[in-house]
Structure 1
Amino acid sequence: MKHPSHISAFDLDHTLLNVNSAFHFALFLFRQGTIGFGALVYIVYCYLRHRFLGLSIAELHSKVFRRLFWGKPLDVFALQMERYMQTSLASLYYMPALERLRAAQEAGHYTLIISSSVDFVVRPFAEDIGVDAFHSTRYALDVEGRMDCLLHLVLGQDKAAILAEVAAKFGVPRENITAYSDSYHDLAFLEYAGHAVAVRPDRKLAAEAAKRGWEVI
């Protein structure tokens, strides 16, 4: 594509979406009978520990991977993700953020999603929205296509580094970059952009946005 003059970068969970995509997908897997009640309870427990008790994103990913995905064939979950995307998809999107993305696309911005969620969950949303690129957590596979370990985990600092790399690739100055996120964990990502937008921010990010005069939607 022609080198863009602007970049608009979006977090996915609770930013472009009303939900945490991986957690919501786990609920779908339970309803489909792919995972059992015990696994669902464990995932909910870990997610709540992350949201309210300080469990880090890295620890959350590690615990959920070991319980839910380790040793399982990727194609089974990829197929279930296709089915998940055929459900009430429109209701999952947070329209104020999605409208910003659509406006950026109309303006010719390079648009991308940078998410901590795993690639086989993020990819279908990226394709549905039609962004130019996405970056996400990845799992390594063994020779039989089973998920073997966490290969690459995308955290807030990683999001900032990815954004800087994309900006350097296209020669886009920071003042022409807009970043959107809901989470204080993404502070470095938001700080890198010339224009930071807090999307229904958590308490710590809301305070930071107020202090810095960042836009809130």
Structure 2
Amino acid sequence: MTARPPEPDRPRIVFSDVDETLITVKSMFDFLHYQLVRRHGAAGEEEYERIMAVIRRRAADGTPREDINRFYYGHYAGESVDTVRRLADDWFTERTASTRGFYIDSTREALREHRAAGASLVLVSGSFPPLLEPLARELGADTVLCTRPLSADGVYTGEVATPVIGEGKRAAVLAHLASRPDVDPRDCHAYGDHVSDLPMLELVGHPVVVGDDAELRERLTRRSVTVAVR
């Protein structure tokens, strides 16, 4: 795909990963710790460490990120959707109470500039709606493409639809682009920090690497696109 400068009068979309691209934390794990400790104190801290030890071991063994994503959401089986949402709202309020430390300022400012210039902003993440929707409201994002835990009768089942990670991000972005035939992907931007964001970044004319993932940068620069690095 050959990049070209977006024309001001052409509609365009800016896709952005969230964890460690827009915010400094991994939202799923930060929230897991927050809600377990808030609800169960020291026992919650122990449960968090137990879960994270399993996740670290699986990651070291090469377990696909999509499977780790599913494992994570399995821990919400039986939880009230409304309770999780209220806890997520409290988490977001507390994390953003300080003026510094939660957002990656350069990314947030870039997304605000895109929005002010008329672009549609779309957040793309393996995280889930209770954590992402407050961010979307704060930034004026039009759409959130994310992993969506399944629920029945107001309770999470512990299962998810397709995790929006890696190829899941590609599929989600492609579906969104298909719903916007007025948008040329060559006019679009996408922001990501990890090589797992590559399937999304390579779909647009203006991929932006946030951070220092050398593998991501190298693999993008092999393609005939203009790569910005923040």
* Alignment partners' CA distance in 1, 2:116 and 2:76: 38
* Alignment partners' CA distance in 2, 1:203 and 1:52: 20
Output one character per residue of 1:179-208: Cα deviation in whole Å (capped at 9) or x when no partner. Answer: 111111121111101111111143421332
Return 5+ residue gaps in structure 2 as ranges. 1-8
TM-score (norm 2): 0.83
Identity of matched residues, %: 24
Q: Does 1:63 align with 2:76?
A: no
* Corresponding residue for residue 147 of structure 1: 156
* Alignment partners' CA distance in 2, 1:109 and 1:50: 39
* Alignment partners' CA distance in 1, 2:23 and 2:57: 21
* Alignment partners' CA distance in 2, 1:96 and 1:46: 33
Greater fraction of residues in helix = 1
* Corresponding residue for residue 177 of structure 1: 188
Number of matched pairs? 213
TM-score (norm 1): 0.88
* Alignment partners' CA distance in 2, 1:152 and 1:165: 13
Alpha carbons 2:55, 2:68 under 8 Å: kept: yes
> Of the candidates 6, 29, 49, which is equivalent to residue 12 of structure 2?
6
> Of the candidates 172, 176, 186, which is equivalent to residue 166 of structure 1?
176
Q: Secondary structure at the match of 1:36?
A: helix
Output one character per residue of 1:104-148: Cα deviation in whole Å (capped at 9) or x when no partner. Answer: 0011001110111122221121122211111111111122x1111
Alpha carbons 2:190, 2:201 under 8 Å: kept: yes
Alpha carbons 2:202, 2:220 under 8 Å: kept: no
Alpha carbons 2:70, 2:163 under 8 Å: kept: no
* Alignment partners' CA distance in 1, 2:197 and 2:149: 21
* Alignment partners' CA distance in 1, 2:86 and 2:10: 34
Q: Secondary structure at the match of 2:78?
A: coil
* Alignment partners' CA distance in 1, 2:218 and 2:61: 19
The one-letter amino acid paired with 1:60 is: I
The one-letter amino acid paired with 2:118 is: G
Distance 1:38 1:62, change over 3 A: farther
Bigger relative contact order, structure 1 or 2 (CA pairs below 8 A, ≥6 apart): 2
